[in-house]
Amino acid sequence: MASATASRGARGALGTVVFYVFLVVFVLVSLFPLIWVFKMSIITKSELFASPPTILPQDPTASSYATIFGDADFRKALVNSTIISGVTTVVCLFFGAIAAYAIARLRFHFKSLIMTLILAISFFPAVAIIAPLFVQFSQLGLIDTYWAAIIADTVFALPLTVWILVAFFKELPRDLEEAAKVDGATTLQAFRMVIVPLAAPGVFTAAILTFIFAWNEFLFANTFLFTPNTQPVTVVIPNFATVYTTDYGAQAAAAVVVTIPLVILVLIFQRRIVSGLTAGAVKG
Amino acid sequence: MVLPALLIILVVAFFPVVSSIWLSLHQATVTNTGAFVGLENYVEMFQNDDFVEGLSNTVIFTVVSVGLEFVIGLAIALAINRAFRGRGLVRAAVLVPWAFPTVISAVMWRLMFQDQVGIINYVANALGIISQPILSDRTLLLIAAILVDVWKTTPFMALLLLAGLQVIPGDVYEAAKVDGANVLQRFFSITLPLLKPAILVAVLFRTLDAYRVYDLFWAMSNRELESLSTFVYKAVRVSQLLFAQGNAAAVFVFVTSFLIALLFIKGFGMQTSAGD
């Protein structure tokens, strides 16, 4: 009896050890490229080419960062990315919140058809429309302006925003707005004064996800923007590989600079991001 | 109130699809629609070696990477479907690769695959796995691209499956245990069937995503690895002589994506009801 308990305890302990080893390996594999590329960005040129490669940086230097921040195109690209993703996020939240509230609360015809249509966009291959969009944007003079990317990004980010917000709005108790309406508020007032503050966490989650989506977008940016004046970092950095052909340190530093804000966002908001993703994807 | 959002989507996404189809039936250029040629662009497209290579790469890439992501993702989801110390850390680590822009991941991995300074190239060489630089061989490039995709999106797959697992009520397992079902029986007759909706959503999302692959191939292979999307991009934007064929390829991607979605919905009985 006692020995049976002991062996079960030992097996449990062994299971726990295996489980944690598995977790550590998993976390390391996930983070390895970031750690390694960070190392590449802070070592000297000669250490970069050392064979066998060094594990720890021998003589850390910031010269690769000096190179990229000394490049006006790179600095401009960071600004461009921020503007494009920021405006896309604001536009998506504005239209997305209104649409999502209507879908979550009001009764109207063709509701599920509309939701299916919106969902269909998530499955939509963006590449199928770049040719006609290119022609239209050229005619409208939008090529190589921020708007070309913002308009295209908005269409593909909106469904995500709407789905996440619908999921959040549905969880809010109906009674509160009804009470507001009984007190004489219009639907829009009830929305603004009651729902918006209550839904703030959901809206915030939708904003983070929309921002990440727009920050990461590449196809539209690479198709519609062709001067350093408007190109975001996602387009500029692969070109870095052409401009600084052999400056691997600069390429590594550029990759690190773009990923750091995302790592910070993920670390701070991981709980919200997970709930947003699963609300948008699994419940759909 | 839904109208503004819907209008934007209709005007910017659906109208251009019709336009793409229209253009693909003409001898179109960027500036003019040209003469009606019926399906000629499609015939020429299938005779274009770059298109055929793009199609075959895309299909191999999609099937292999989504297959691997599903198996590994499910294993991870089952493993972390319990309360444990450091859960937040694991979740954050899972999200980090997902949050990176794909092109940036491609650049990072390209640095590791590079033949002079790349750690992976160095290790693979030392172990005798490869006999030539990874970035110089198209087969190795495709394998590398699959590897990067698996790294980047398996965690996301695991996350979606985990969300599905957590909805399965625990007492179903208790009842099965009482009836004497072993671990494997419980997995195949409870977990898999109850997880089916989450599996279908996750696999469909990932399949359509992988099928559109563009950034990863473009940035990692320095424009040398062809996919359907890179073919469209090059035809429409880089070499505009192929504008009409590019449109045909775009329509091809659209129609086949639609068929894939239909297969999941009809073939595997996926639920698409948009809630209530």
- pLDDT tens for each residue of B203-240: 998 999 999 999 999 988 888 899 999 999 988 887 77
CB contacts < 8 A (A, B): 271
Set of chain A residues whose Cβ sits within 8 Å of the Cβ of B228: 127
Given this model, what pLDDT does residue B243 score? 87
Evaluate whether A126 touches A215 at the Cβ level (below 8 Å): no
Which of A22, A103, A237 shows the shortest C-beta gap to B104? Answer: A237
Identify residue B221 by its one-letter amino acid code.
Answer: S
Give the tens place of pLDDT for each residue, A9-21: 666 788 888 888 8
Say yes or no for a CB contact (<8 Å) between B257 and A123. Answer: yes
Instruction: Please check whether residue A55 touches B, CB under 8 A.
Output: no
**Alpha-carbon span A166 to B164, nearest angstrom:** 19
Say yes or no for a CB contact (<8 Å) between B103 and A48. Answer: no
Q: Which two tokens stand for residue A99?
A: 């649409």
**Alpha-carbon span A199 to A201, nearest angstrom:** 6
Say yes or no for a CB contact (<8 Å) between B76 and A26. Answer: yes
- What DSSP element (H or E) covers A258? helix A248-281
- Could you report the predicted ipTM of this complex, rounded to two decimals? 0.85
- The backbone region for B38, taken as left when phi is positive above 0, alpha when psi lies in -120 to 50, beta otherwise, is left
Identify residue A203 by its one-letter amino acid code.
Answer: V
Say yes or no for a CB contact (<8 Å) between A127 and B272. Answer: no
From the CA of B9, how many Å to the nearest CA of chain A?
A: 5
Instruction: Please check whether residue A216 touches B, CB under 8 A.
Output: yes
Say yes or no for a CB contact (<8 Å) between B246 and A131. Answer: yes
Residue A265 confidence (pLDDT) above 70:
yes
Given this model, what pLDDT does residue A11 score? 64
- Within 13 Å and on the Cβ side, how many CA atoms surround A84? 35
Say yes or no for a CB contact (<8 Å) between B79 and A166. Answer: no
Indicate the pLDDT class of residue A181, thresholds 50, 70 and 90.
Answer: confident
Instruction: Please check whether residue A87 touches B, CB under 8 A.
Output: no
Identify residue B113 by its one-letter amino acid code.
Answer: F
Say yes or no for a CB contact (<8 Å) between B20 and A128. Answer: yes
As a whole number, mean pLDDT of residues B247-269 equals 88
Evaluate whether A67 touches A246 at the Cβ level (below 8 Å): no
**Alpha-carbon span B87 to A274, nearest angstrom:** 13
Which of B16, B96, B160 shows the shortest C-beta gap to A133? Answer: B16
Q: Which two tokens stand for residue A51?
A: 């064979």
Lowest average pLDDT, out of A159-163, B6-10, B213-217, goes to B6-10
Say yes or no for a CB contact (<8 Å) between A26 and B6. Answer: no
Say yes or no for a CB contact (<8 Å) between A152 and B12. Answer: yes
Which of B114, B233, B261 shows the shortest C-beta gap to A223? Answer: B233
Which of A133, A152, A274 shows the shortest C-beta gap to B159? Answer: A274
Set of chain B residues whose Cβ sits within 8 Å of the Cβ of A240: 107
From the CA of A8, how many Å to the nearest CA of chain B?
A: 17
Which residue is closest to B243 within chain A, CA to CA? A131
Say yes or no for a CB contact (<8 Å) between B13 and A114. Answer: no
Say yes or no for a CB contact (<8 Å) between B236 and A131. Answer: yes
**Alpha-carbon span A24 to A46, nearest angstrom:** 32
Which of A40, A270, A274 shows the shortest C-beta gap to B111? Answer: A40
Set of chain B residues whose Cβ sits within 8 Å of the Cβ of A258: 101, 104
**Alpha-carbon span A208 to A279, nearest angstrom:** 14
Which of B9, B108, B243 shows the shortest C-beta gap to A118? Answer: B9
Start-to-end CA span in chain B (Å):
19
HEC-encoded secondary structure of chain B: CCHHHHHHHHHHHHHHHHHHHHHHCECCCCCCCCCECCCHHHHHHHHCHHHHHHHHHHHHHHHHHHHHHHHHHHHHHHHHCCCCCCHHHHHHHHHHHHHCCHHHHHHHHHHHHCCCCCHHHHHHHHCCCCCCCHHHCHHHHHHHHHHHHHHHHHHHHHHHHHHHHCCCCHHHHHHHHHCCCCHHHHHHHHHHHHHHHHHHHHHHHHHHHHHCCCHHHHHHCCCCCCCHHHHHHHHHHHCHHHHHHHHHHHHHHHHHHHHHHHHHHHHCCCCCCCCC
Q: Compute, in degrees rounded to 10, the torsion defined by CA atoms A154, A160, A166, A169.
A: -80
From the CA of A1, how many Å to the nearest CA of chain B?
A: 22
Instruction: Please check whether residue A43 touches B, CB under 8 A.
Output: no
For residue A129, give Cα distances in angstroms to A13, A124, B20, B249. 56, 10, 7, 11
For residue A174, give Cα distances in angstroms to A104, A105, B81. 10, 8, 33
- The backbone region for A85, taken as left when phi is positive above 0, alpha when psi lies in -120 to 50, beta otherwise, is alpha
Q: Which two tokens stand for residue B245?
A: 């064929």
Set of chain B residues whose Cβ sits within 8 Å of the Cβ of A238: 103, 106-107, 218-219
As a whole number, mean pLDDT of residues A221-243 equals 86
Q: Which two tokens stand for residue A112?
A: 């599920």
Set of chain B residues whose Cβ sits within 8 Å of the Cβ of A216: 99-102
Given this model, what pLDDT does residue A7 score? 55
Who has greater pLDDT, B150 or B172? B150
Which of B76, B155, B229 shows the shortest C-beta gap to A127? Answer: B229
Give the tens place of pLDDT for each residue, B30-61: 777 778 888 888 999 999 999 999 999 999 99
Q: Model pTM?
A: 0.88
Give the tens place of pLDDT for each residue, A121-154: 777 888 888 888 888 898 899 999 999 999 999 9
Give the tens place of pLDDT for each residue, B76-132: 888 888 777 777 778 788 888 888 899 999 999 998 998 888 889 888 888 888 888
Given this model, what pLDDT does residue A221 score? 94
Set of chain A residues whose Cβ sits within 8 Å of the Cβ of B74: none
Instruction: Please check whether residue A248 touches B, CB under 8 A.
Output: yes
Which of B2, B16, B119 shows the shortest C-beta gap to A114? Answer: B2
Say yes or no for a CB contact (<8 Å) between B4 and A99. Answer: yes
Calculate ∠ Cα B257-B263-B268, nearest 5°: 140
Exposure letters B188-224 (e unless 16+ CB within 10 A, then b)? eebbeebbeebbbbbbbbbbbbbbbbbbbbbbbbeee
Calculate ∠ Cα B229-B232-B235, nearest 5°: 145
Instruction: Please check whether residue A11 touches B, CB under 8 A.
Output: no
Say yes or no for a CB contact (<8 Å) between B101 and A166. Answer: no
Residue A2 confidence (pLDDT) above 60:
no
Evaluate whether B102 touches B95 at the Cβ level (below 8 Å): no
Set of chain B residues whose Cβ sits within 8 Å of the Cβ of A135: 19, 30
Say yes or no for a CB contact (<8 Å) between B116 and A129. Answer: no
**Alpha-carbon span A75 to A92, nearest angstrom:** 26
